Structure 1
Amino acid sequence: MRSLTIRHVTTYRYRHPVAFGEHRMMLRPRDSHDQRVIEVSLEINPAPSSLRYEQDDFGNHIAIAEFAGVATELSFASIVSLEHSPDDALHPGLDDAAAIFPVDYGDDEMTDLAHCIRRHDIGTDDAVAQWARRFLPVDGQIPALELLTRLSQGIHDGFLYRRREAKGVQPPAETLQLGHGSCRDFALLLIDAARSLGLAARFVSGYLATMPDVAPTEAHGATHAWAQIYLPGTGWIDFDPTSGNVGKGSLVTVAVVRDPDQATPLHGTFVGSRSDTLGMEVHVSVTPHGSVTT
C-alpha cells in the first residue's frame, strides 16, 4: 500500500471579463477495495455562488458549481490524498467457466451488463469487429483473459500514441483508419472491440500515477483513460491499451461509465464570444508519501 497526493489544476483564461455558467467536475477518485480517499479539497477561484455534491447513476462523485459576477480567469484546484493498494496477483479468481472464450453471462448478469455490451455507430463493414477477430485462433479455444490481453497489446504495439488537447473521442473505426490516437481513443477502441465479441466493457477515467523505483518528493502524473472488461467469476478487469498493461498497478480510478462522454473531468460554459477565449492549462502532479502499513 502507498499513500499519494494528487493535485489537478485547471485554469481558463479570457481576453475580456466573462460570466460563467454551471460547471460540473468529476475529479474525486472512487473509494474501493484497492483505493481509499483520505482527504479532499477543492479550491475554485473566483469562488462560486453555490457548490453542491452528488453521485451519478454509476456511483461517480460529481461537484457542481454556479457563479455570479464576471472575471478574466477561472481556476479549479483539486487536491486529493488517498491510499492506493492494487492487488499484485493477477485475477486469481478466474475459474474454468470464465476462463475460455466465448464466455457465458448468466441471466442475472446480463440484466446488469446489457448496456455495456450494446454498441453504437457500427458502420456497414464493421471494421472494428473484423480487426478484433484477427486475434482469435484459427482453430481451438483461447482463454478469455489471453484474448483480451492480446487485444490490448495489439493496440499498444500497432498504433501510435498522440496526445490530443481537443475534447471528445475519435470513433473506433477512425482510430483504426488513422493508426494513431490518445489514451481515450485507445480505450474506446478496446471497448468496442470487446463488445463486438460479446463481452461487457466500460470506460474508465482517472490518473496515471507512475512511480520510479526511488520515489522523489514529486512524481509525474497525468489524467488517463482505460477500459474495464467483465468476466464471470472474476468481475471487472482493468486493461490499459496505451501501455498494454493488465491490472491497476499505476491507475487511480475517478469515474467508471458506459461511454466516454459521461466521464468528462470538467465541463462548463461561459457567456461571451468565442474570441474571448485565450486558452486552458491543465497541470497534474502526483506526490508519493512512502509505504503505508496496516
Structure 2
Amino acid sequence: MPILAVRHVTTYRYRQPVAFGEHRIMFRPRDSYDQRLIAASLAIEPEPCALRWMFDVFGNCVAVATFAGRARTLRFTCGITLEHTPEHAPVFPLAPHATHYPFGYGAEDMPDLIRSIERHHPDPGHAIDAFARSFIPAEGRIPTQDLLAAMTRSVRQNFTYLARAEQGVQDPVQTLRTKRGSCRDFALLMMEAVRALGMAARFVSGYLYNPRGDRERHVGGGSTHAWLQVYLPGAGWVEFDPTNGIVGNRDLIRVAVARDPRQAVPLHGSFFGFPADDLGMSVEVDVAEIDGVADTGHAVLPVLQTSASR
C-alpha cells in the first residue's frame, strides 16, 4: 500500500489590489477502505479573516474562506498525505441479477439513485444514445463489467485528450462529435452514456498519480483530475477513468463526488474589481510516492493543519 503525497497550489493574479468574495475549497479526501488520510494542510495567502469547514450535500469536506483586505495575488497551497490501496486487477462481486446487462436496481435503491440515472444534458440527435448502444451486442446479453470496461477504453483509444484552461465542462454531444476534450469532458460524456443505458453515474474530482519515470503511463497529470463512478448492485460505486482507460481505483485519489460536475469544483470564488484586473490563474499539482509509514493505525501527523502563509 503506497503512501502518496499531493501538493496542490492555485494562484490568482490581478493587475491591481482587489477585494475577494467568499472562496470554497474542496481538496480534503474522505477516508475510505481504499484510501486512508494521514495528514492534510491548507495555507492561504493573504490570510483570510475567517475559515470554516462544512460537509456539502454529498458529504464532501469543504473549507470556506472569507477575506477582509485587498491584494494583487491570492494563493491556496493544499497538501495531503494518504495511504492508497490500489485495485490492480479489479473483479467486482456483482449481485447475481446484475452480472449481465441489462439489469435493474432494487426498489429500495431507486429513490436515492434516480437523480444519478436521469440524463442531465440534451441529446436531440440521439448521438449519445447510439454511442452507448454501440457497446451492446445485437443479440443476447453482455457481462456488465465487460460493457463498462469497453466503453472506458474506447474513449482512451479513440479520443484525443486536450488540457483546457476554460472553466466549465464541454457539452457531451460536442465531445462525442469532435472526439476531443479534457478529463472532465470525457467523464461527463461517459456519465451521460451510462445513464442512457439506465445505470446510475456520478462525477468524481481528485488527483492522478503518475509514477516518476513513467510519464507515458497516464495523461491528465499536473492538475486536478476527473473521472466517474457507476453504481453496480453488489459492488457499489465503482471507478472508471475514460481519459486513461482505468477500471477501478488504480492511481486515482478521490476527493469529491457529485451528481453534476458543477457541484465538485475544487476551488471557486469571486473578486471585486474591473474585469481587466484579472490576469489569470495558474494551477500546479504534484503527486509523488513517499517512504512508507509504519502501519500502526495512527497518523504520524495531525490529520488537519490549517495556516495562513505570509
Tell me if TM exceeds 0.5: yes
Superposition deviation, residue 89 in structure 1 = 4.4
Q: Tell me which stretches of 4 or more aligned residues in structure 1 moved more than 3 Å.
A: 290-294
Is 1:82 matched up with 2:85? no
Partner of 2:91: 91
Q: Does 1:19 align with 2:6?
A: no
CA–CA separation in structure 2 for the residues paired with 1:82 and 1:132: 36
Structure 2 unmatched runs, 5+: 215-220, 296-310
Task: Normalising by structure 1, report the TM-score.
Answer: 0.95
The aligned counterpart of 2:187 is 187
Report the equivalent of 1:217.
none
What is the CA distance between 1:240 and its match in structure 2? 0.5
Partner of 1:149: 149
Deviation at 1:266, TM superposition (A): 0.5
Q: What is the distance in 2 between the residues matched to 1:152 and 1:92?
A: 16
SS of match in other structure, 1:107: coil
Check whether the contact 2:121–2:172 (CA below 8 A) recurs between aligned residues. Answer: no
Corresponding position: 1:108 with 2:108: yes
The letter for the 1-side match of 2:128 is V
Q: Which residue of 1 aligns with 2:202?
A: 202
Aligned to 1:177: 177
Give the corresponding residue for 2:251: 250
SS in 2 for 1:30: coil
Equivalent residues of 2:223, 2:283 under 8 A apart: no
In structure 2, give the amino acid aligned to 1:273. Answer: F
Corresponding position of 1:67:
67
Q: 1:22 to 1:151 in 2, by over 3 A?
A: same
The answer (yes or no) to whether the contact 2:18–2:272 under 8 Å persists in 1 is yes
For 2:109, what is the secondary structure of its paired residue?
helix
Is the CA contact 2:50–2:66 (under 8 Å) kept in the aligned structure 1? yes
Q: How does 1:40-51 map to 2 (within 5 A)?
A: 40-51=40-51
Letter in 2 for 1:194: V
Q: Where does 1:31-42 land on structure 2 (aligned, <5 Å)?
A: 31-42=31-42
Instruction: State the 1:292 CA deviation.
Output: 4.8
Q: How many pairs are equivalent?
A: 289
**Cα distance change on mapping 1:104 and 1:79 into 2, 3 Å:** same
Alignment partners' CA distance in 1, 2:205 and 2:294: 27
Per the alignment, residue 163 of structure 1 pairs with 163
Distance change >3 Å, CA 212–CA 278, structure 1 → 2: closer
Answer whether contact 2:121 2:192 (CA < 8 A) is retained. no
Tell me, in whole angstroms, the C-alpha distance in 2 between the residues paired with 1:73 and 1:285.
Answer: 21
CA shift for structure 1 position 29: 1.3
* In structure 2, C-alpha distance between the alignment counterparts of 1:74 and 1:198, rounded to whole Å: 43
- 1:92 CA displacement: 4.0
CA distance in 1, matches of 2:124, 2:290: 52
CA–CA distance in structure 2, aligned partners of residues 289 and 32 of structure 1: 20
The residue type equivalent to 1:100 in the other structure is H
SS in 2 for 1:43: strand
C-alpha spacing 1:285/1:46, structure 2 compared with 1 (3 Å): same
CA distance in 2, matches of 1:258, 1:250: 22
Greater mean deviation of Cα atoms: 282-291 or 131-140: 282-291
Name the % identity.
51
CA RMSD of aligned residues (A): 1.5
Match of 2:280 in 1: 279
In the TM superposition, what is the alpha-carbon distance from 1:152 to its structure 2 partner? Answer: 1.0
Residue by residue over 1:148-205, the C-alpha shift from the partner in whole angstroms, topping out at 9 and shown as x without a partner, is 1111111111111111010100111010112200000000000000000000000001
Kindly indicate whether the alpha-carbon contact (under 8 Å) linking 1:201 and 1:228 is maintained by their aligned counterparts in 2: yes
Displacement of 1:45 = 0.4
**Counterpart-to-counterpart distance in 2, 1:133 and 1:7:** 40
Structure 1, unmatched stretches of 5+, are 215-219
Give the counterpart letter for 1:222 in structure 2.
S
1:15 partner letter: R
Higher strand residue share: 1
